[in-house]
C-alpha cells in the first residue's frame, strides 16, 4: 500500500490489545514444547488453519486454549517482548495492554507470575527504546462478579510494585448475556481505588450496553463500541463527551461483526466527530498488527492521509498518558 511509509511514520498508540491475542501459532507451539504440553493440532499450519471464526465465541474458544501454554514468568515475558518488538518496527510510541489474569489463575498460574513476566518486558522496552506502556487488568465477563472481585483482591497486593504500569481495568470476553451492570460493584471499587476504567461494549452487544458501560460502570473509554451507531442519542453523547472508541477493524471483519471491511462504520463515525481510534485487538488471530489495521481500513474505506493522521492523533489524545506526554507526541 502506497500509504505504508506514511502510516509507519505517524506517531501513534495502540489502546485495544489483548496480550494473549498476540500469541502467534509458532510461539504457541514453542511454549507447548518447552512446557511439555500436548496440543490438539499436528502442526503450526494446522493451528493457523483452524482460525476460521464465525463470531466472538468461536474465536474465544481458541484464544483461551492458546493461552493455556503460558506457564512461567519467562513465557509471559517472551510473548510480551515479541509484541513490543513488532510495535517498535511499526512506529508505535505507547501501548495500553489488556491482560486476562483469570485465564491463567484458573489453571494454577499465580497472578504474580503474570505481572512479573509482562512487566519485565514492558520495562525493558521503555528503558531500551523509549516505548511507554500501561497495563489494564481485564475481568472476564462470562465469569461472575464475585470471581472478578476475588481477582482484584489477588492483584491489589502487587499494585505498589507495578504502579508505573498498572493504571486501570477493563472488561472483556463474551458480551451477549453479560451486560455491564453485572460488574457494577467491582467497577465501583476500582473507581474508588483510583483506577482508569475501560470496558468492551457494543461489539456484539447492543448500543444499550455502551450506554450502561458509561452510566453504570463509568467507563472512560469504550472498546469497540461500533454498535453505538444504532442509537442516535448515544452517538450525540459520545461526540459531546469526547468518549473515545477503540475500534478494531480486522477483528470486526474476522468475527463477522461486519461482512466486508468496506461496510465498516469507522469512517462514518469519524465524520460525525467521534474520537475514533484504530487498534488490533488480537493481532495473531485476526491477520494483522496495528499498521495493517490502518492500511486495510484505508484501502476498504478510501481513507485519506489526513484522515489517517487524525486517527493516529486520536490514539494519542484517547490514551491515559499525562497531558505533557500527549503534547510531546502530538
Cell 509507519 found at: 8
200 in a labelled binding site: yes
Does 220 engage in binding with ligand ES4 (CB under 6 A)? no
User: What Å distances lie between residue 224 and 150, 198, 204, 252, CA to CA?
Assistant: 26, 11, 9, 9
CB of 118 to ligand ES4, least distance (A): 16
Among 56, 67, 207, 219, binds ligand ES4 (CB under 6 A): 56
Total interface residues for ligand ES4 by CB under 6 A? 11
12 is an interface residue for ligand ES4 by CB under 6 A: no
- Distances 55 to 173, 255, 296 between C-alpha atoms, Å: 12, 5, 20
Interface with ligand ES4, residue 78, by CB under 6 A: no
Q: Cα–Cα distance between 22 and 323 in angstroms, integer?
A: 29
Give the number of other CB atoms < 10 A from CB of residue 260.
8
CB nearest ligand ES4: which residue? Answer: 172
Alpha-carbon dihedral 110, 113, 115, 118, rounded to 10 degrees: -140
| Cβ closest to ligand ES4, residue 201 vs residue 318 | 201
How far apart, in whole angstroms, are the C-alpha atoms of residue 64 and residue 54? 16
Closest to Zn ion by CB, 116 or 278: 278
Q: Say how far apart CA 277 and CA 310 lie, in whole Å.
A: 9
Closest CA to 165 of 119, 99, 197, 219: 119
Catalytic-labelled residue, pool 14, 73, 90, 203 = 203
For residue 282, the minimal CB distance to ligand ES4 (Å) is: 5
Residues 118-147 that bind ligand ES4 (CB under 6 A): none
Q: Indicate if 14 belongs to the active site.
A: no
Measure the CA–CA gap between 285 and 48, rounded to whole angstroms. Answer: 8
Q: Nearest approach, Cβ of 60 to Zn ion (angstroms)?
A: 10
Residue with smaller CB distance to Zn ion, 281 or 292? 281
Question: Is 75 among the residues that bind ligand ES4 (CB under 6 A)?
Answer: no
Quick check: 21 binds ligand ES4 (CB under 6 A)? Answer: yes
Residue 264 annotated in ligand binding:
no
Report the interface residues with ligand ES4, using CB under 6 A: 18, 21, 56, 63, 172-173, 200, 203, 251, 281-282
Amino acid at each position: 500500500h502506497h500509504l505504508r511509509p506514511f502510516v509507519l511514520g505517524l506517531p501513534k498508540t495502540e489502546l485495544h490489545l489483548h496480550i494473549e491475542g498476540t500469541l502467534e501459532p509458532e510461539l504457541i507451539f514453542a511454549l507447548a514444547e518447552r512446557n511439555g504440553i500436548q496440543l490438539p493440532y499436528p502442526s503450526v499450519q494446522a493451528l493457523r488453519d483452524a482460525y476460521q471464526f464465525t463470531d466472538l465465541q468461536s474465536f474465544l474458544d481458541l484464544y483461551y486454549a492458546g493461552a493455556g501454554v503460558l506457564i512461567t514468568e519467562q513465557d509471559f515475558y517472551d510473548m510480551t517482548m515479541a509484541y513490543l518488538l513488532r510495535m517498535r518496527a511499526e512506529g508505535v510510541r505507547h501501548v495500553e495492554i489488556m491482560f486476562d489474569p483469570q485465564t491463567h489463575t484458573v489453571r494454577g498460574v499465580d497472578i504474580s507470575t503474570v505481572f512479573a513476566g509482562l512487566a519485565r518486558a514492558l520495562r525493558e522496552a521503555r528503558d531500551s527504546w523509549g516505548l511507554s506502556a500501561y497495563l489494564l487488568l481485564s475481568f472476564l465477563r462470562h465469569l461472575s462478579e464475585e470471581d472478578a472481585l476475588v481477582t482484584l483482591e489477588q492483584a491489589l497486593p502487587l499494585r505498589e510494585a507495578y504502579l508505573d504500569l498498572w493504571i486501570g481495568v477493563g472488561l472483556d470476553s463474551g458480551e451477549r448475556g453479560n451486560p455491564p451492570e453485572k460488574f457494577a460493584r467491582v467497577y465501583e471499587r476500582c473507581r474508588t481505588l483510583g483506577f482508569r476504567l475501560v470496558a468492551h461494549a457494543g461489539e456484539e452487544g447492543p448500543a444499550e450496553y455502551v450506554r450502561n458501560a458509561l452510566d453504570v460502570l463509568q467507563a472512560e473509554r469504550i472498546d469497540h463500541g461500533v454498535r453505538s451507531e444504532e442509537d442516535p442519542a448515544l452517538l450525540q453523547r459520545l461526540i459531546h463527551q469526547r468518549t473515545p472508541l477503540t475500534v478494531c477493524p480486522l477483528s470486526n471483519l474476522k468475527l463477522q461483526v461486519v461482512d466486508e471491511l468496506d461496510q465498516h462504520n469507522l469512517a462514518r463515525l469519524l465524520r460525525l466527530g467521534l474520537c475514533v481510534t484504530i487498534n488490533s485487538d488480537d493481532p495473531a488471530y485476526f491477520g494483522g498488527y496495528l499498521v495493517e489495521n490502518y492500511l486495510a481500513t484505508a484501502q476498504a474505506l478510501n481513507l485519506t492521509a489526513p484522515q489517517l493522521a487524525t486517527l493516529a492523533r486520536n490514539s494519542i489524545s484517547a490514551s491515559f498518558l499525562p497531558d505533557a506526554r500527549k503534547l510531546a507526541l502530538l
